[in-house]
Structure 1
Amino acid sequence: MNEPLSGQVAVITGGARGIGRGIALTLARAGADILIADLLEEPMRETAKEIQALGRRASTLKVDVTRAEAHADMVAQALGQLGGLDILVNCAGVITIRPVEELSEQDWDFVMNVNAKGTFLGCKAALAHMKAKGRGRIINVASIAGKEGFPNLAHYSASKFAVVGFTNALAKEVARDGITVNAICPGIVRTYMWDRLADEWKTEGESVEDSWARHQLTLIPQGRAQTPEDMGRMALFFATMDNVTGQSVNVDGGFTFH
């Protein structure tokens, strides 16, 4: 059995469901032990059981990614319970949907704090250990909305543009330390977020399911949605490549080209 990540430990924020769960299971199948850091306790436990069923160790920790001390606890648990920290995946993310004129400071701060600040704090917490070890893989989950703006999502796009820029800058800072830093930019993935968007963007008389189908057909050249497992395979690519860093790669069925 090919297990390129055998003996490695991956920490995944937002790993309880959706894209984070897809990444967690893919890395576990490749041999990694997994720490899931999330706020959703029951989904965390269920995903941990799935990882253990694959023969890997799994640990869970309730984490608010907007707090620096929570990230310190996350790193400490990875080291204490699983014996290391080789791969960090910053996947925790939130969304609200409003035009700028109706956007409150609270909306702005909520989205920016989780999506952008949470990514920064996760990276900062992991760097000392990875530098001391002389090796590490950091994978940030951005979005195609981090490369192209979308109406009523200006704050979300801003947070994901920030993740893309931060990823590139940090990669250059730590390039001589054996640490790579890359970002995945998912396209349309059927998660809780996209269910909300399909509901928000449905036309008169259209169901959420109809809206979901229409967006796949009209926005994606391949005509089909991407999956959490697609994002997992890209994460595995980044986790196993020594000479790929500073990149933000779209996994979007041809939706965007930059």
Structure 2
Amino acid sequence: METANSVREAFELTGRVAVVTGAASGLGRSSAQVLAGAGASVVCADINAEGAKKSAQEIVDAGGKAVGVGIDVSRSEEHEGLVEEALRLGQRLDVWCNSAGIMAESKVLDMPEADLDALVSVNVKGTLFGAQAAGRYMSDHGGGSIINMASAGMLVPSPNIAAYAMSKGAVVQLTRIMALEVGKKNIRVNAVAPGFVPTNMTSRYYVRDDGTEDEAMKQMVLEPMAKFAPMKRVGAPSDIGYCVLYLASDASSFLTGQILSPNGGVAMH
């Protein structure tokens, strides 16, 4: 029989160590905070090293354990350094969340090759290199959970985001194939495919050069997104963070190769 204690323990991460890329802001920052709130020690990594350190300090100030480091996820050798950071922080590595990502918009016929190259370097190669580094360690140390950040954009066709959706579609196939290959090592590989969530990737439409928000423009951006969703709201970073927690925890111990898409129902259209 499941008890209140056993249910809580299924989501408990005390004593475990997680790496989160893209942790300086947005979904990566929220994921790092939620994992830390569940008891994990967290390596916050981002190309914005100061932002990563700030995210880590917020966790420490809240009573958790974390360290912030800089990383260029498009460089494979830098991911091995994150494994070393995890071992320094907690002598183990249990969870790896590939949340670093970038966005570019253009119509298919006008797509700049440079945009495609950048998206592949960060969204595809960055995810692959992180999953490889985590998988190699976990293969020799009893397993773990790898969580890749995809997007509902590859589930629902939308204009102007072909390159981005292509890159996230690649992440989904990487997730499924890797899950097949490493399951026997007790490594679970899943992805989260968020719907629209206001983050620094979307706020560029309504944040002025001085950092203040244009409220009228913000409403113009967010209201149509909310109306399109059956739940009639846009997502919050914590909506994604709690999905990451589920996939990181023992509550999802029999789940691998799956795409969890918190999108407010948008993908049903």
Query: How far apart are residue 198 of structure 1 and its match?
Result: 7.1
8 Å CA contact retained: 1:14, 1:90: yes
1:224 aligned partner, one-letter code: R
Q: For 1:133, what is the secondary structure of its paired residue?
A: coil
Match of 1:249 in 2: 260
Query: How far apart are residue 197 of structure 1 and its match?
Result: 5.9
Match of 1:177 in 2: 185
**Runs of 4+ in structure 1 over 3 Å off:** 196-199
2:246 aligned residue (222, 237, 258): 237
Match of 1:216 in 2: 225
Is residue 2:142 matched to residue 1:134? yes
1:46 aligned partner, one-letter code: K
8 Å CA contact retained: 2:47, 2:71: yes
In structure 1, C-alpha distance between the alignment counterparts of 2:268 and 2:63, rounded to whole Å: 38
1:72-98 per-residue CA deviation (whole Å, 9 max, x = no partner) reads: 111112112332110000000001111
Match of 1:190 in 2: 198
Is residue 2:79 matched to residue 1:71? yes
1:106-117, aligned counterparts within 5 Å?
Answer: 106-117=114-125
**Percent of aligned positions with the same letter in both sequences?**
38
211-220 or 152-161: which moved more? Answer: 211-220
2:77 aligned partner, one-letter code: E
2:93 aligned residue (85, 94, 104): 85
In structure 2, C-alpha distance between the alignment counterparts of 1:146 and 1:168, rounded to whole Å: 15
Match of 1:103 in 2: 111
Task: Return closer, same or farther for 1:215/1:195 CA change in 2, 3 Å cut-off.
Answer: farther
Match of 2:127 in 1: 119
1:4-83, aligned counterparts within 5 Å?
Answer: 4-83=12-91
In structure 1, C-alpha distance between the alignment counterparts of 2:229 and 2:199, rounded to whole Å: 16
In structure 1, C-alpha distance between the alignment counterparts of 2:205 and 2:190, rounded to whole Å: 26
Query: How far apart are residue 20 of structure 1 and its match?
Result: 0.5
TM-score of the two chains, using structure 2 as the length reference: 0.89
**Structure 2 stretches lacking a partner, 5+ long:** 208-214
Query: How far apart are residue 36 of structure 1 and its match?
Result: 0.8
Question: What is the total number of aligned residue pairs between the two structures?
Answer: 252
Query: How far apart are residue 207 of structure 1 and its match?
Result: 4.1
TM-score of the two chains, using structure 1 as the length reference: 0.92
8 Å CA contact retained: 2:53, 2:69: no
8 Å CA contact retained: 1:14, 1:92: yes
Match of 1:225 in 2: 234
8 Å CA contact retained: 1:13, 1:36: yes
Match of 1:203 in 2: none
In structure 2, C-alpha distance between the alignment counterparts of 1:56 and 1:30, rounded to whole Å: 9
8 Å CA contact retained: 1:146, 1:163: no
